[in-house]
């Protein structure tokens, strides 16, 4: 072979090699685009951990796979600390089996995954659920979920301590909400907001999501983005609140109660973390206000010894019964306000944490159906690394109720102005340019709320307001 032939052969070889590399890259990119950044087929996704009836000894696990997975297992074992979970080893781990069911849903047509107006196509997914009980209180566990062949990455969960909160010992939790969106970009923002929240409160006991997880409840890909992109969700216990965007799909993504019980089957439930009582309502359970069944349940719940003797009573709700915002004079909000405000006052609820209006709002401490300031003294202290305003009731018997809306944690901020509503006693109403999260710290004598915005471009945080109630 002469010199020119060798040269031509070499050039041809290089050309073919480059072509193959380009072709491979095209297939890789096409595969990524086709999957929309989703986890591998048949692998577990939408993995969510929730409380059972007893947060000290029970956890629930739910997740999805593509069609074809016929088993549901959770493997778990104790560790001394979260740091010890960095390299999980499930040899000899406990294993609990659960249920499998098919879920008919919809996904965007191929090529329209990132369109808010995508054409939707029917799809079938496999839903998995496992109830785990017999856990040790105040213990950290490593876990994974799967079908025995395909497993998720390891996650971490903690069980609640059996102790009560004291002046020097309590817990913290995160509050987010209205992460709603359509596209991958929308939920990339939400994932970064949640990441900033976890960095701010790495030891949170659980995360409250105040509802409206997604914009279109039937879009399974949006659910996948919402529940899978925030990697830290896999190591969080979620307290989900039913929003108006979830409707019938709420209970298809979150497993509540226990295998024997009926708790949460209508989207409302309660739990006690240490001796703080949380009542979680479903404002979609009824044509306008809450259904008679839910209202009856709520009264029974707030009359229990656990609620009466709690250090604090907290209500979590999506549609805000008390605000001066976008939806404040909607007909259903007016009806919910008339129905619930006297109930919250009668049962000595300390604070109602709400969403739905995409603003920041804090009321005065109110009584007499929200029309009268109950009267508090205040002081500014340094706590939690911030300047914090603490409110103390002047009348311990008629101390009033605070209504608090931290703002949305997703891409949508409302821009409409406030309502002129003299019946709403607003202490703070703010239009914010960026999504928010809130850290709540609880002890026997204080419950404190620290709210931050997250810059959508560089994800830096900025303090909105820090306030609390003291005894």
Q: Please tell me whether residues 282 and 147 are part of one structural domain.
A: no
pLDDT of residue 288: 85
Task: State whether 118 and 258 are in the same domain.
Answer: no
Give domain status of residue 29, yes or no.
no
Please list, in sequence order, all residues whose beta carbon lies within 8 angstroms of the beta carbon of residue 7, skipping any fewer than 6 positions away.
none
Phi-psi map region of 369: left, alpha, beta (phi>0 left; psi -120 to 50 alpha):
left
Overall domain count for the chain? 2
Between the CA of residue 442 and those of 165, 205, 395, 446, what are the distances in Å?
8, 11, 21, 6
3-state secondary structure of 450: strand
Which residues, in sequence order, are bridge partners of residue 437?
Answer: 452
Helices 220-228 and 184-200, axial angle in degrees (round to 10): 30
410 belongs to a structural domain:
yes
Instruction: Assess whether 319 and 454 both reside in one domain.
Output: yes
* 315 occurs within a structural domain: yes
State CA 373 to chain mean position distance.
31
Nearest to 195 by CA among 452, 393, 433: 452
Phi-psi region of 211 (alpha: psi -120 to 50; beta: other; left: phi over 0): left
Indicate whether 189 belongs to any domain: no
How high is the mean pLDDT in each 10-residue block of the chain (471 residues)? Answer: 41 36 31 33 87 96 89 96 85 96 92 89 94 97 95 96 94 97 94 97 97 93 96 96 90 88 82 97 89 96 97 97 84 93 96 94 94 93 93 86 96 74 89 95 97 95 97 88
Instruction: Mark whether 279 and 381 lie in a shared domain.
Output: yes
Q: Is position 437 within any domain?
A: yes
Q: Residue 417: its pLDDT value, please?
A: 66
Of the three residues 118, 134, 157, the one that is the final residue of a domain is 157
Residue 52 lies in a domain: yes
DSSP code of residue 321 = S
* 273 plus 377 within the same structural domain: yes
* Tens of pLDDT, residues 409-435: 998 877 666 677 888 999 999 999 899
Query: Residue 99: which CATH number?
Result: 2.60.40.380
Q: Are 427 and 321 found together in one domain?
A: yes
In this predicted model, what pLDDT tens digit does every residue of 49-100 receive, in sequence order?
999 999 999 999 999 998 778 899 999 999 998 787 788 999 999 999 999 9
Residues 428 and 290 placed together within one structural domain of the fold: yes
Q: Are residues 267 and 407 in the same domain?
A: yes
**55: containing domain:** 45-157
User: Which pLDDT does position 15 carry in this prediction?
Assistant: 37
From 124, 157, 190, the end of a domain falls on 157
DSSP string, 43-95: S-EEEEEEE-S-TTT-EEEEEEEETT----EEEEEEESSGGGGSS---TT-EE
The pLDDT value recorded for residue 103 is 87
CB-neighbour burial class of residue 152 (10 A; exposed 0-12, middle 13-18, buried 19+): buried
Q: Report, in this order, helix, strand and coil percent for the chain, each rounded to 5.
A: 25, 35, 45
If you write DSSP's letter for every residue of 92-156 in order, what string do you get?
T-EEEE-EEEEEEEEEEPTT-TT-TTPPEEEEEEEEEEEEE--PPTT-EEEEEEESSSSBPPPEE
User: Is the CB of residue 350 less than 8 Å from the CB of residue 401?
Assistant: yes
- Do 261 and 150 belong together in one domain? no
Tell whether 83 is covered by a domain: yes
Which DSSP string corresponds to 192-210?
HHHHHHHHH-TT-S-EEE-
Instruction: Please write the tens of the pLDDT for every residue from 326-359.
Output: 787 888 999 999 999 999 999 999 999 999 988 9
Domain boundary among 157, 175, 204: 157
**Is residue 181 situated within a structural domain?**
no
pLDDT at 294: 95
What does the angle CA 383 – CA 389 – CA 394 come to, to the nearest 5 degrees?
A: 120
454 and 318, same structural domain? yes
Indicate which CATH number applies to the domain containing 398.
3.60.21.10
Q: Which residues contact 411 (CB under 8 A, 6 or more apart)?
A: 180, 181, 185, 186, 189, 190, 435, 456
């Amino acid at each position: 072979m002469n010199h020119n032939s060798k040269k031509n052969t070499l050039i041809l070889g290089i050309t073919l090699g480059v072509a193959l590399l380009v072709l491979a890259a095209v297939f890789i990119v096409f595969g990524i685009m086709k999957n929309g950044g989703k986890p591998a087929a048949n692998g577990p996704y939408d993995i969510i951990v929730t409380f059972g009836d007893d947060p000290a000894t029970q956890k629930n696990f739910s997740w999805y796979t593509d069609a074809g997975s016929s088993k549901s297992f959770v493997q778990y074992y104790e560790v001394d600390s979260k740091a010890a979970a960095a390299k999980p080893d499930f040899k000899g781990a406990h294993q609990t089996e659960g249920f499998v069911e098919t879920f008919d849903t919809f996904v965007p047509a191929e090529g329209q995954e990132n369109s808010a107006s995508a054409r939707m196509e029917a799809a079938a997914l496999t839903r998995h659920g496992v109830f785990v009980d017999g856990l040790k209180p105040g213990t950290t566990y490593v876990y994974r979920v799967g079908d025995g062949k395909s497993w998720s990455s390891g996650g971490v969960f903690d069980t609640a301590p059996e102790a009560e909160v004291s002046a020097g010992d309590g817990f913290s939790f995160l509050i987010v909400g209205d992460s709603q969106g359509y596209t991958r970009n929308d939920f990339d923002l939400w994932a970064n907001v949640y990441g900033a929240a976890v960095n701010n409160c790495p030891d949170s006991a659980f995360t409250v999501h105040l509802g409206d997880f997604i914009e279109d409840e039937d879009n399974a890909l949006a659910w996948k983005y919402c529940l899978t992109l925030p990697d830290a969700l896999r190591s969080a216990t979620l307290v989900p609140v039913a929003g108006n965007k979830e409707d019938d799909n709420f209970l298809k993504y979150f497993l509540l109660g226990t295998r024997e019980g009926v708790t949460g089957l209508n989207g409302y439930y309660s739990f006690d973390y240490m001796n703080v009582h949380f009542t979680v309502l479903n404002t979609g359970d009824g044509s306008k206000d809450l259904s008679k069944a839910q209202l009856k349940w709520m009264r029974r719940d707030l009359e229990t010894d656990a609620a009466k003797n709690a250090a604090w009573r907290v209500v979590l709700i999506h549609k805000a019964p008390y605000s001066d915002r976008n939806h404040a004079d909607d007909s259903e909000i007016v009806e919910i306000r008339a129905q619930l405000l006297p109930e919250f006052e009668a049962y000595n609820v300390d604070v109602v944490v709400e969403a739905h209006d995409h603003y920041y709002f804090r009321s005065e401490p109110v009584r007499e159906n929200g029309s009268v300031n109950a009267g508090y003294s205040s002081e500014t202290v340094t706590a939690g690394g911030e300047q914090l305003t603490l409110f103390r009731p002047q009348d311990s018997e008629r101390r009033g109720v605070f209504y608090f809306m931290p703002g949305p944690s997703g891409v949508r901020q409302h821009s409409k102005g406030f309502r002129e509503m003299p019946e709403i006693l607003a202490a703070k109403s703010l239009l914010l340019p960026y999504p928010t999260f809130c850290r709540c710290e609880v002890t026997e004598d204080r419950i404190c709320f620290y709210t931050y915005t997250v810059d959508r471009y560089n994800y830096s945080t900025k303090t909105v307001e820090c306030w609390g109630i003291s005894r």
